[in-house]
Structure 1
Amino acid sequence: MPNRPGSVTFVAVLAYINGILNIIGGVVTLFTRNSMVPSSDAGALAGITTSAILSIILGIVILIVARGLLNGSRFARGLVTVVMILNAISGVILLFSLQFFSGILEILWAVVMLALLYTRRANAFFAARASG
């Protein structure tokens, strides 16, 4: 069994951080959404609520799957990839909910995570774990 490269460990740690931040951000957004838009704008309020709930769910999934990354699970890698794509979509939703800073941060985080998850060394590690 090959040793896990530091880059994969780093990605897993970033995944844990991402999961925690998603949960915290979602909870904060959920509890402060009424102060973000006028109560008469039901569409914006629904968008913010949806984004907050999606952020919490994605955070929980990321925490669970991050452990699989440490073990070299290709399933976990694929799932994190899907979650990061959904996270980027959540960031776009935030942009349309007039939460530009949060939206840009979520999009950038997803791009960085995906870039790190598919480095040459990470590819070799996951390939070796799948064949071994």
Structure 2
Amino acid sequence: MDNNHPGLLQLNVSFMQLNTLLLLLTIWCLSCNNGKAKKAVSETTTAIEFDTTKWRTKDGDDYPYRDELLTYLTTNNKLKGWKKDSVLAFLGQPDKIDSNYLFYSIAQKRLGFFPLHTKTLVIKLAADSTVEWRKIHQ
């Protein structure tokens, strides 16, 4: 680009800024989660019974039933005080174990293969291998 046309240079910079802005806006829109629609669906469904087979069902990298089964675990079955062996027999092997923590993947939203949002059930074990607490990490 030559310096004899400064207006052309400004126009080129403006198009670059506009393209960058549009790219960021597109990424932001794709990463948004429509929580209202999901909430409306979950409010109309009845509580389901826990099914170990569904909890352990894996489709590629995803667990298609864990998010809906999580409601049962957090409302009807607190897990607190359970021994580690009982948790493993009930939920199966966790996706990750780190010291006294068990991590169960619940759901993950991706843009391509990049994770945008991950939901995980975290269970902390006390020194005597009983469940001290469980939390949902998002």
TM over 0.5, yes or no?
no
Higher strand share: 2
Task: Output the TM-score relative to the length of structure 2.
Answer: 0.29
Higher relative contact order (CA 8 A, sep 6+): 1
Between structure 1 and structure 2, the one with the greater Rg is: 2
Higher helix share: 1
